[in-house]
Structure 1
Amino acid sequence: MRISAAQRTENENRIRAAMDRLLRGEIPPGGKCDVKTLAREAGVDRTAFYGTRPYTRLRVEFERRLQVLRQAGDIPDPREAQITRLKTEIAKLTERLAQSEQTVTELTDFRAGALARLAAQHEEIVRLRETADTSNRVTRLPGPRTTVIGSCI
């Protein structure tokens, strides 16, 4: 079915108004910032935006404006903005987790090394004590003297 020039102009005006709303972030419930929602909001068949159909240039303009907004860091669709934010947060948390795991591994290795050194030192002390007990060449020193300070004789 052919539409008149006036109907086409009216449709284009509705499409442009819907395009502006979507790009401002006024996304209807259940919709996205995409051509499907644009067509639904403008009351136009979605197929009219593709191929050699009459509103292909408006779809191209919509996609170009959307891409410019995204490159500027402004994402009109709140769900897409949330997804982008969550992906960034996940990447940061994954990096923090990897760093934490590396720190835990390093500390575990340090602990194992420290325990091994302590065990070796303990074994050396035990061996030296046994050697000292069995050797006749070691002379035992007397214990510390106890003195009374301030006694009068």
Structure 2
Amino acid sequence: MRISAAQRTENENRIRAAMDRLLRGEIPAGGKCDIKTLASEAAVDRTAFYGARPYAHLRVEFERRLNALREAGDIPDPRQAQITRLKTENAKLKERLAQSEQTIDDLTDFRTQSLARLAAQHEEILRLREAGSETSRITRLPASRSAAKVIGSCS
């Protein structure tokens, strides 16, 4: 079905108005900043934007303006901006989690090594005490109460 020049001009005006709304971020519920939503907002068949159809030049203009906004860092589709923000946040959180896990592994290793060293030192102290008690020339001093508490808490 052919349309008159007046109808075509009216459709182009509706398309340009819908294009401006979408690029300002006025995205309808369930829509995106894309040709499908542009066609539905302008009440024009979507196929009219492709190939040698009458509104292909408007599709090119829409995509050019959309790409210019994206390059400038302005994303008109709030959902797309949210997706981008959440992906960035997710990547940062994954990095923090990996760092936390590495820190936990390092501290666990340190704790294990420290406990092993303390146990070895304790065994050495007990061995030296035992060796010292066998020699009759060494007089053992009585342990103070605070020292006994410290030694008892290390066991």
> What is the distance in 1 between the residues matched to 2:17 and 2:60?
15
- 1:107 CA drift (Å): 0.7
Question: Where has structure 1 moved over 6 Å in runs of 4 or more?
Answer: none
> What is the distance in 2 between the residues matched to 1:29 and 1:142?
86
> What is the distance in 2 between the residues matched to 1:40 and 1:13?
14
- 1:45 CA drift (Å): 0.1
> What is the distance in 2 between the residues matched to 1:46 and 1:79?
22
- 1:91 CA drift (Å): 1.1
Tell me which residue corresponds to 2:132.
Answer: 132
- 1:89 CA drift (Å): 1.1
Unmatched segments (≥5 aa) in structure 1 = 145-153
Task: Tell whether the 8 Å contact from 2:132 to 2:138 is kept in structure 1 after alignment.
Answer: no
Alignment CA distance shift 1:125-1:58 (3 Å): same
> What is the distance in 2 between the residues matched to 1:22 and 1:53?
22
1:103-148 CA distance string (max 9 Å, x none): 1111111111111110110111111111112234x4215659xxxx
> What is the distance in 1 between the residues matched to 2:115 and 2:89?
38
Alignment CA distance shift 1:15-1:122 (3 Å): same
Give the structure-1-normalised TM-score. 0.88
Secondary structure of 1:90's aligned partner? helix
- 1:80 CA drift (Å): 0.9
Alignment CA distance shift 1:69-1:3 (3 Å): same
> What is the distance in 2 between the residues matched to 1:108 and 1:142?
38
> What is the distance in 1 between the residues matched to 2:37 and 2:127?
83
- Could you tell me which amino acid in structure 2 is paired with residue 133 of structure 1? S
Larger Rg: 1
> What is the distance in 2 between the residues matched to 1:85 and 1:77?
12
Secondary structure of 2:51's aligned partner? coil
Give the aligned CA root-mean-square deviation in angstroms.
1.5
Give the structure-2-normalised TM-score. 0.87
Question: Is the counterpart of residue 109 in structure 1 residue 94 in structure 2?
Answer: no
- 1:48 CA drift (Å): 0.5
User: How many correspondences in the alignment?
Assistant: 143
